[in-house]
């Protein structure tokens, strides 16, 4: 794969599970960097800031810095600034990502935009019903992602995509999605790396949001059988991944790199 100049890598389920490195992932990322390839760690994680993500990965043994990390909240902040400048935004999210939402005006009442991040204990009836009322009164709906679930060391956990479907149906609105699988998210990663889509490769454990979405953007897709991967999900997917490998540890071999 001589044309590849950069690699986009999902974090949760690909490099780590519950921020613990998966076998061979640290060495594989080191080999990719040693070969001179660009790296962007692209994640829909909404519970941590870019700085916190970079720190957690460094602690796990990965040689990364904050500039390597592109998160859904950071892309969302740029999207809101462009599409809804000066808007009052109500945030429904589990985790403090205010640092990555710099410039966004966050309010509790009468928002212009309801912004949905990642799910957690905050997604109770009162919070969801409040968001429903705000949408019914005319607020726009922006979602950082549509993930239905993710994998932790305790197994699969429900994510905000499941709640988002209910809000959309109940309020009769459609969310504008900023994180994966949004084309804008992949475009932001390519721009950061300074490469064309046909020069990049995306590695993920979510066949739809990571891999097939990247392929629709012209990026070569690699599905790994770790994290949230399930055979039945791959079999029922809307397309076929360019490559399927057991784990991220297999990527240097796919790229023809020494390890």
Q: What is the per-residue pLDDT across 11-49, written as a single tens digit (0 to 9) for each?
A: 999 999 989 999 999 999 999 999 999 999 999 888 889
Residue 115 lies in a domain: yes
Identify the three-state secondary structure at position 52. helix
Residue 194 falls inside a structural domain: no
Residue 208's pLDDT is what?
95
Radius of gyration of the chain measured on its C-alpha atoms: 18
Asked whether 121 and 95 are in contact (CB, 8 A), the reply is no
Q: Specify if 4 maps to a domain.
A: no
Confidence grade of residue 65 (pLDDT, cut at 50, 70, 90): very high
Give me the number of domains the chain comprises: 1
Mean pLDDT of 142-170: 90
At residue 259, the pLDDT reads: 59
Domain assignment present for 116: yes
Regarding pTM above 0.75, the answer is yes
Please tell me the distance from the alpha carbon of residue 201 to that of residue 100, in angstroms, as a whole number.
26
Residue 162 lies in a domain: yes
Cα→Cα distances 12→114, 166, 231, Å: 25, 25, 18
Residue 45: inside a domain, yes or no? Answer: no
- What CATH number corresponds to the domain at position 149? 3.40.50.1000
Determine, yes or no, domain membership for 109.
yes
Residue range(s) defining the domain that contains residue 99:
86-177
Beta partners for residue 11, in sequence order: none
- Report if residue 170 sits inside a domain: yes
Check residue 22 and give its pLDDT. Answer: 97
Q: Residue 102: pLDDT band by 50, 70, 90 thresholds? A: confident
How far is it, in rounded angstroms, from Cα 126 to Cα 129? 5
**What pLDDT was estimated at residue 1?**
60
């Amino acid at each position: 794969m001589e044309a590849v100049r950069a690699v986009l890598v999902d974090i949760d389920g690909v490099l780590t599970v519950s921020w613990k490195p998966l076998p061979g992932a640290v060495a594989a990322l080191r080999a990719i960097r040693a070969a001179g390839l660009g790296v962007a760690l692209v994640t829909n994680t909404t519970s941590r800031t870019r700085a916190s993500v970079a720190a957690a990965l460094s602690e796990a043994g990965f040689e990364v810095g904050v500039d390597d990390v592109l998160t859904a909240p950071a892309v969302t902040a740029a999207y809101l600034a462009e599409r809804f400048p000066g808007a009052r935004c109500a945030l429904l999210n589990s985790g403090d990502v205010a640092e990555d939402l710099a410039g966004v005006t966050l309010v509790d009442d009468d928002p212009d935009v309801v912004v949905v991040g990642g799910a957690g204990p905050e997604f109770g009836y009162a919070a969801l019903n409040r968001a429903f009322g705000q949408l019914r009164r005319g607020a726009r709906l922006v979602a950082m992602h549509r993930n239905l679930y993710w994998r932790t060391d305790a197994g699969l956990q429900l994510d905000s995509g499941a709640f988002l479907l209910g809000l959309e149906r109940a309020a009769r609105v459609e969310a504008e999605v900023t994180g994966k699988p949004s084309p804008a998210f992949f475009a932001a990663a390519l721009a950061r790396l300074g490469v064309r889509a046909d020069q990049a490769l995306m590695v993920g454990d979510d066949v739809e949001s990571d891999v097939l979405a990247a392929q629709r953007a012209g990026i070569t897709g690699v599905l790994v059988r770790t994290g949230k991967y399930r055979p039945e999900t791959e079999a029922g997917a809307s397309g076929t991944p360019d490559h399927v490998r057991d784990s991220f540890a297999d990527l240097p071999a796919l790229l023809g790199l020494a390890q």
